[in-house]
Homo-oligomer: A and B are copies of this chain.
Amino acid sequence: MEFYQKEIGLPAFNRGFHLVTPLVLKEFPEIRNIQCGFLQVFIKHTSASLSLNENADPTVREDFESHFNQMVPENMPYYKHDYEGSDDMPAHIKASILGNQLLLPITSGDLNLGTWQGVYLCEHRDHASSRKLVCTAFGQV
């Protein structure tokens, strides 16, 4: 039984949905040591989020951005928390809808994901800086 934990800084991304699987995995060669277990990817922010979705067609990620902007619009008359910009309160809501962590199974030293599953960084702010992740792999070695 082993635990490996480290903090990873992602580069700043534009607002939108971004495939970051390779960025995470290149920082975590320790996954190869785990026969059966998990990798958790946790984001330490409240206006960006993580999701697992289609990893092939970039228009899927564009459609995610379009739909979330329609489902959680800016400038709704009922928003009270507006002094950090019109993108701020929607960013918090989107982050809670999508979630702040992924828990990915590991089998025989590799993530055991579906063929089309990739890790999305969902950046909900217009002018975000880099984002910090806490990544923890654990399981039987």
Contacts and interface: CB of A to CB of B under 8 A. Distances in A.
Contacts of A32: none
A71 B57 CA distance: 23
B136 A46 contact: no
A21 interface: no
Interface residues of A, number: 60
Q: Give how many copies assemble into the complex.
A: 3
Interface string A57-77: 101101110110011100010
Given A38-B136, A64-B93, A92-B60, A52 B100 contact: yes
A5 B36 contact: yes
A93 B67 contact: yes
Interface of A: 1, 3, 5, 36-38, 40, 42-46, 51-54, 57, 59-60, 62-64, 66-67, 70-72, 76, 78-81, 89, 92-93, 95-105, 107, 112-117, 120, 132, 134, 136, 138-140
